[in-house]
Amino acid sequence: MLEFYTNPMSRGQIARWALEEVGQPYEEHIIAYGPEMKSEPYLAINPMGKVPAIRHQGKVVTECPAIISYLAETFPEAGLLPDADDRADYIRWLFFTAGPFEQAVTTKALGWEPSAEQSAMAGFGHFDLVMKVVDELLSSRDYVCGDRFTAADIYRGSQILFGITMGSIPKLDSFKAYAARMAARPASQKAKARDDELIAAQQAANS
């Protein structure tokens, strides 16, 4: 049995989508922000005191791209791995999303952007460059690996969907079209419905 540690208002939404895509049963553990997330029992799962995390066959996996990759490789019957010819694109853009894309969006959200000199040192260069690269990619293909959905689209899709919703990335035509394809996936809809249900319950309990 897979064990899933999450909070609905977190990047756990990304991992839940991946879990729904592989279609394996999992046990859900909702970890509250604050003392519970920093408690000794949970720190034994993830010493960073953050969610999401999964535990499977006695091993713990943290960090969304790692969780997605682990699930895709552990359950290949789900069809989330790329074809041999697309493996380079799969690895390249999965890590690009985890690295330059997330760094660019996060630093801008925190109110810091590198100067022209600093951009030469920063791995992501600068925000506009990252958005341009992703726009060019998604304008030329439907998915990260061409015409077929893979696990890399779970991570890229989550970032695009979240960014458009929160206004942290520009609403470019290629981004909106890609987001619509991602949101239409049954596993994405099932995962979102569960997290929305949990968020509503938390809000009701706090009101």
C-beta of residue 12 within 8 angstroms of C-beta of residue 64:
no
What is this structure's pTM? 0.95
> So what's the pLDDT on residue 194?
98
Q: How confident is the model at residue 147 (pLDDT cuts 50, 70, 90)?
A: very high
d(CA 54, CA 69): 12
**64 with 52: CB under 8 angstroms?**
yes
* The pLDDT value given to residue 164: 97
Tell which residue, 129, 86, 121, has the closest CA to residue 104: 129
pLDDT in tens, 68-108: 999 999 999 999 999 999 999 999 999 999 999 999 999 99
- Per-residue pLDDT band for 122 (boundaries 50, 70, 90) equals confident
Radius of gyration of the chain (CA): 17
User: How confident is the model at residue 129, as a pLDDT?
Assistant: 96
The confidence score (pLDDT) of residue 96 equals: 97
**Predicted confidence band at 207 (pLDDT cuts at 50, 70, 90)?**
confident
Q: Report pLDDT for 172.
A: 98
Q: Which two tokens stand for residue 32?
A: 């509250």
Whether the per-residue pLDDT at 165 is higher than 90: the answer is yes
For tokens 């968020």, the residue is 199
**Sheet with strand 53-56: strands edge to edge:** 26-30, 2-6, 53-56, 59-62
**pLDDT per residue as tens digits for the range 20-59:** 999 999 999 999 999 999 999 999 999 999 999 999 999 9
The torsion of the CA quartet 146, 14, 49, 81, rounded to 10 degrees, works out to -40
Segment 131-155 shows an average pLDDT of 97
For residues 159-179, give the mean pLDDT: 97
